[in-house]
Amino acid sequence: MLSVLKKDQAAFLLAHSNPQHSDDPSQWEPLLGASGHLHRVTRRTLRFARSAFGQLPELAVLGLLAGRWHDLGKFSDAFQQYLRGVGADSHKGERTGRVDHSSAGAQHAMATLAPPFNAMLAYAIAGHHAGLLNGLDSQRTCLKARLRKTDLPPWREAVPEKLLTGTGIAIPRGISGTKPEIAFQLGFATRMLFSCLVDADFLATESFMNPVQSAQRPKGKADFAVIAAGFDARLDERFATAQGRVAEARARVLDACRRQALGRPGLYSLTVPTGGGKTLSSLTFALKHCAANGLNRIIYAIPFTSIIEQTAEVFRAFLEGCAEDVDQLILEHHSNFDPELETTRTRLASENWDAPLVVTTNVQLFESLFANKPVRCRKLHRIANSVIVLDEVQTLPVTLLAPCLRVIELLVNQYGCTVVLCTATQPALERREDFRIGLPAPRPIIEDPVSLYRALQRVELRDAGSLDCPTLAVRMSACEQGLAIVNTRAHAAAVFEALQAHAGADGCFHLSAAMTPDHRSRRLAEIRQRLADGAVCRVVSTQLIEAGVDVDFPVVWRALAGLDSVAQAAGRCNREGQRDTGITWIFRPEEPAFARLFGTIKTGASATSQVIDAGHHQDLLGLDAIEHYFRLHYWSREQDWDKQKISDCSRVGDPKLPLDVDFATMAERFRFIDDTQRPVLIGWDDESRALIDVLRRLDGLGRYPDRKLSRRLQRLSASVAERRWKQALQANQIELLCDRFAVLLAPDLYYDRDLGLRLDADPVYDAQFLIQ
C-alpha cells in the first residue's frame, strides 16, 4: 500500500484506471503532467469558459481554476489507495459515495478566492459529479454542509504549491442591477461555469478511457458562409416558379430575413402570419447571421413534438448538398427522433450539443437552462454565442414567464446570443409600465407586419356559438373536406364518433396524442394524400395539428381556446391561398364535460372570450386583436408570472454564504408541464408487436434494451396521466418490462385503430406533446 504521498512523488499520482489494462497502474492516467487529467481538464475548461464568458471576460479565469482544483481530493493517500485497490474508474467511487474527492477543491476555492467568486467555484467543483447543490438547506445535503466537512482525508501535502495559487477577479461590468437581479446573474454564471467544467471533465476522461469513442465526436467548426450560400441557392431554385399573392408575400419575408441577418447580435422579432414561410426564412436569417458575426451554432427550439420531426426533415431536405454531410450538420434532440437516423456521432453530439444546427424543443432548452445535473448542464456553455430561434414563442407558459424572459435577456446581453422571437402572433412581451418583466424592444425583421398580414389574409374568422357533438358532425358532413380542432382527447373522440355515425367511416380521421407517434405519422400521410387528391377528408383532432403541420382545408372549426391557438388553427385553412377565402369557425362546446377547461387552456379561452365580447375588432386575427388578447393573457396575470418562485431561489449578501442559490430546488420547480404523464408502449400492428417481443425476451434474460431499441420503442408509446397509469398497472392492463417499460397487455381491447389508447374515458389533456 502507499504511504502518505509527498510532493516529490507526484509522478506516481493517478486519476483514472485504464479499462484495457486494469492490472497495470503504469498504463493508468496520471493526475499531473502534460498528459495528466488535471492538465487535460484545465485546458478544455479554460477554452470553454473563454468562449462562454466572452461578454464577461473577467470570469474566464474561473474556468482555469475549476480545472486545476476540481480533483484536489485525488491527491490524498486514501484516494490513491482506493483507486489502486479497486482498479476501477474513480468516478464510480464518487457516485457510490465511497470516495469524496470534490469537497477538497470546493473548500480550497472558498478559502482562497474573494466572494462571490469563491462560492461560484465551490458550487461547480462540489457538484461536478452529483450536481449543483442548494447553498443552504436543512433538509438535504447542501454546499454549506460540504464546506464544513472535517473528515476529508489529508490531501494538501501532495499538491504542488503553484497549483493552489488563486487570483484576483473583478466583478464584470455587465453584471449589475438590484441585489435579486445580481444574484440571478451570478447564479446563472455559476451554472455556465459548471457546464464548462463537467463537459471538459467528461471529454477528458473519455479521451483517455475510451479513445475510440472520443475520436468519433464531431471535429471543427461549420463554415456557415458556405452553408448559407448553398441554402440560398436551394431556396431560389425551389421558389423561382412560385406565383400568386402568397408566394409574393413569402418572397418578401425571405428577402427581409436575408437583409436583417447582416445586423449585429441581439434580440430580434420575426412576426409572420401562418403560411408565410417563416420556418425556412428564419433558418436563412440564422445561417447568414452566424456567418456575418462568427457565431458558433444555431439552436432551433420548437414547442411541439408533433411538428419537430417535420421541421427537421424540411431543413435536412434543403440543406442536402450544402455541407459535406448533412447528418453531421443537423442534430435532432427530442424523444421522438427516428432511431434509424441516429449515428454514433449524432448520439455523442446530443450529449453536449456539439453540432452546427440543433433542432430541439422549448422544454429541452429552457429546462436545461435551469437544470442542476451534469447530464442536462453539459450543453449550456455551447448555447453561448449562438443564434436561438424560438419558434411559436407565444407558447411560453405564463407561470414561468418571468424566469424565461429573464434568461432570454441574459443570453443576449451577457452570453453573445442572438435570440429570434419567431411567431405568427407576436405576443406583447415588450417591457412597459404595466409589464415590468418584459423584454427590451426587439429589432423587427419585418418592418411592416400589418401590410404583410393583409397580403397573407386568406381566412375569415366567424363565431359559430355553441355546438354539441352531433351538430358539429352534421356541419362537417356538409363539407367534402373539413377540420375540427378541440381541446381534449375525450371531446375529439366524441366528435369523431358522432361524425362516423352521421357520415360513415370513409374519409373520416381522428388525431390525438392518444395515438402513438408512428400511428399519427401514418395517419397524417394518408390525410395529406386525400387532400391532394381532392378526396373526401374530414378530420377531428386535438391541438397537436394546429402548429406547423402542413395541411390545407377549406373550412376549419376550432373549440374556444386562446386566440393564438385559434390563429394557428386558422393557419390550416386556405393555407396556400388557392381559394378566395377560407372560413374558420370558433365554437363553444355545448356539453358541460367538454366545456369545462383547466389550466392555460382555460385562461386562454377566457381571454379570447373577453376580446370577442368587447366588440372592438372587426378582424379577430388582426394584430390589434392579438395584442389585446396578449394584454389580457400576460399583462393582467402578474400573480402567475413566477408562480413557482424561481426568482426567489437566488440571493446575495447572506453572511453564511456570499452567493446562496437553491440550484436543486430551482431545477425541481422549473417544469413546463405540471401534470405528470407516463408512457405506455403499444403493440398495435405487426411491426410494433415484433419490437415489444424483443423487449419481452430481454426482460426474460434479465437484460436491458440498448439506446437504439429504446428510441424505437418511444415511437410506440402513448402517454396517460400518472394516476391513470398506476390504476392500469394495478388492474393488470399494463405490465412492466425491464423495470421501466410499461406495455399494454391487450391492445385489441384498449387500443382503437381510429382513436388510439382508451383505458377509460378520462379527458386527459394533450400537454405531453411538449417533450422533456
Condensed to tens digits (0 to 9), the pLDDT of residues 351-399 reads: 889 889 999 989 899 999 999 999 999 999 999 999 999 988 888 888 9
Domain boundaries, the chain: 7-215, 224-453, 458-640, 677-769
Q: Is the pLDDT of residue 345 over 80?
A: no
Residue 7 has pLDDT above 80, yes or no: no
Could you tell me where the DSSP H helices lie in 113-223? 117-126, 143-147, 179-209, 211-215
Mean residue pLDDT across the chain: 88
For residue 2, what pLDDT is reported? 34
The answer, yes or no, to whether residue 54 has pLDDT greater than 50, is: yes
Q: How confident is the model at residue 90 (pLDDT cuts 50, 70, 90)?
A: very low
Q: Is 659 left (phi over 0), alpha (psi -120 to 50) or beta?
A: beta
**SS3 assignment, position 424:** coil
Helix (H) or strand (E) run with residue 95 in it: helix 90-96
CA dihedral 94→95→98→101, nearest 10 degrees, is 20
Q: Exposed, middle or buried by CB within 10 Å (0-12, 13-18, 19+), for 297?
A: buried
Residue 343 has pLDDT above 60, yes or no: no
Q: What percent of the chain has pLDDT over 90?
A: 60
Q: Do domains 224-453 and 458-640 have the same CATH topology?
A: yes
Architecture of domain 7-215: Orthogonal Bundle (1.10)
Question: At residue 467, does pLDDT exceed 60?
Answer: yes
CATH of domain 458-640: 3.40.50.300
pLDDT of residue 602: 87
Return the pLDDT at 274.
78
The answer on pLDDT for 403 being more than 70 is yes
What pLDDT score does 531 carry? 95
pLDDT at 597: 86
All three cell numbers of 147, joined, read 464546506
Residue 634 half-sphere exposure toward CB, CA atoms < 13 A: 30
What is the third-level CATH fold of 224-453? Rossmann fold (3.40.50)
**Of 459 and 322, which is predicted with more confidence?**
459
In the predicted model, is pLDDT for residue 310 greater than 80? Answer: no
HSE value, Cβ hemisphere, 13 Å, CA-based, for 486: 32
What is the model's pLDDT at position 9? 55
Task: Give the tens place of pLDDT for each residue, 746-755.
Answer: 999 999 999 9
698 pLDDT band, cuts 50/70/90, is very high
Residue 87 pLDDT class (50, 70, 90 cuts): low
385 dihedral zone (left: phi>0; alpha: psi -120 to 50; beta): left
Query: Can you give the pLDDT at residue 771?
Result: 34
- In the predicted structure, residue 294 carries a pLDDT above the cut 70: yes
Q: Could you read off the pLDDT of 585-614 as tens digits, one per residue? A: 999 999 999 998 887 788 889 999 999 998
653 sits in the region (left: phi over 0; alpha: psi -120 to 50; else beta) called left
pLDDT band for position 95 (50/70/90)? very low
pLDDT at 766 exceeding the cut of 80 = no
Q: Which three cell numbers stand for residue 548?
A: 406547423
More confident residue, 580 or 49: 49
- The model's confidence at residue 5, banded by pLDDT at 50, 70 and 90, is very low
Cα separation, 570 vs 586, in Å, equals: 10
State residue 228's pLDDT score.
95
pLDDT tens sequence across 674-684: 656 789 999 99
With cut-offs at 50, 70 and 90, classify the pLDDT of residue 430: confident
